[in-house]
């Protein structure tokens, strides 16, 4: 197995960790916000682990971006669906999603009331999650299964 295959498999498999952590953060924040629950240490940790998993996936993705034969910078890049997607569209949408997760997490830390913390996480993480799903759908990549 070469480096590209290793990082492609790692990136492909680690997406499940990101999905689960972000989804768990969204679910708990919705219950906390709508149920007017206290913001606990468990909430903080789940939100933080969702953030860390997204950032880890970004780092793996950067290495993959460098190694990928699907990332090309030439006159046909924008004309070819696959190269355009991996060279421009995929990473841009994912970076936007990770920025939203980071902003949501950062803003929630500054809020004092538990309802506000939950609400901020819910809104930012949901938007990020929808962008992630949109990015996968745009590339005709399977959400479940391997690439």
**Domain coverage including residue 94:** 3-138
147 within a domain of the structure (yes/no): no
Q: What is the mean pLDDT of residues 32-54?
A: 97
Write the secondary structure of 1-23 as one string of H (helix), E (strand) and C (coil): CCHHHHHHHHHHHHHHHHHHHHH
pTM: 0.91
pLDDT tens digit string along 1-36? 899 999 999 999 999 999 999 999 999 999 999 999
Number of structural domains found in the chain: 1
Q: Does pLDDT of 93 surpass 50?
A: yes
What pLDDT, in 10s, does the model give residues 55-85?
999 999 999 999 999 999 999 999 988 899 9
115 located within any domain = yes
Question: How far is Cα 90 from Cα 85, in angstroms, rounded to an integer?
Answer: 6
For residue 146, tell me if it sits in a domain.
no
């Amino acid at each position: 197995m070469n480096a590209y295959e290793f990082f492609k498999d790692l990136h492909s498999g680690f997406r499940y960790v990101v999905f689960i952590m972000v989804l768990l953060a969204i679910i708990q924040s919705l219950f906390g916000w709508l149920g007017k629950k206290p913001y606990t240490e468990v909430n903080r940790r789940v939100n933080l682990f969702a953030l860390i998993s997204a950032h880890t996936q970004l780092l793996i993705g950067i290495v993959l971006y460098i190694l990928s034969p699907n990332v090309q910078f030439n006159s046909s890049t924008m004309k070819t669906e696959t190269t355009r997607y991996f060279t421009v569209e995929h990473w841009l949408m994912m970076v936007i999603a990770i920025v939203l997760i980071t902003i949501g997490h950062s803003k929630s830390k500054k809020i004092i009331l538990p309802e506000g913390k939950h609400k901020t996480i819910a809104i930012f993480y949901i938007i990020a999650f929808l962008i992630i799903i949109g990015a996968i759908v745009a590339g005709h990549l399977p959400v479940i299964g391997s690439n």
